Structure 1
């Protein structure tokens, strides 16, 4: 009986760190991400957009916004398109966003569509 309990506790103790490590994989290399400089104009745009942002999770990692400190805001600009503000859990996720912006912008558009009042 004691050996079963001891075995169960050992398995649990070894499993928990491994499971928590899997969640951190999405942020591999992000811990050292340098805070990006923001212009005063962009800072104002980001501040205004924060209250009406449709997602409560990081656009890239799906971690809760604020889980790694204040959510990082970024103004995405593309020629011929309106500027878009995105929020991610950490500065490192901004680089991941820049690699595939269309993929991540679809997530914002879907969230906005869900929260829009029915006509």
Structure 2
């Protein structure tokens, strides 16, 4: 009887250890992904510069005009360890939830807008020559 109790205890402990390692591995995986961080006063100068260079006037989630009917844009900093911070502007707080469900999808929208803006700026520069 003692043997079965010890065996049950050993199995339970191994299960907990295996689950803990899985949980920690999962936590480490999330560190590779970015997170939205609220803008603070110490970020003001960086945000002002990033807003001036922001590639779109529309929310990357809803496609509504930033600063339009939804009011003042909601700004966040998107941080990924080892990469430069990125400004993300939303038309409203509801879009933050949608962004967090699939950040890569919306980052591609932002990257596409940036590429389009850079392409048109390049074309304007070429035209001025």
- Structure 2 distance, partners of 1:61, 1:43, is 25
Greater per-residue helix proportion: 2
Q: Normalising by structure 2, what TM-score?
A: 0.57
- Is the CA contact (8 Å cut-off) linking 2:38 and 2:76 kept in structure 1? no
Gaps of 5+ in 1: 1-35
Superposition RMSD on alpha carbons, in Å? Answer: 2.0
- Report how far residue 37 of structure 1 moved: 5.5
- Is the CA contact (8 Å cut-off) linking 1:46 and 1:74 kept in structure 2? no
The count of residues paired between Structure 1 and Structure 2 equals: 84
Gaps of 5+ in 2: 1-36
1:66 lines up with 2:67 in the alignment:
yes
Q: Structure 1 runs of 4+ off > 2 angstroms?
A: 41-48
- Structure 1 distance, partners of 2:61, 2:41, is 25
Superposed counterparts of 1:67-82, under 5 Å: 67=68, 68-82=70-84
Q: Call closer, same or farther: CA 1:74–1:37 in 2, change over 3 Å.
A: closer
Q: Normalising by structure 1, what TM-score?
A: 0.61
Of structures 1 and 2, the larger Rg is shown by 2
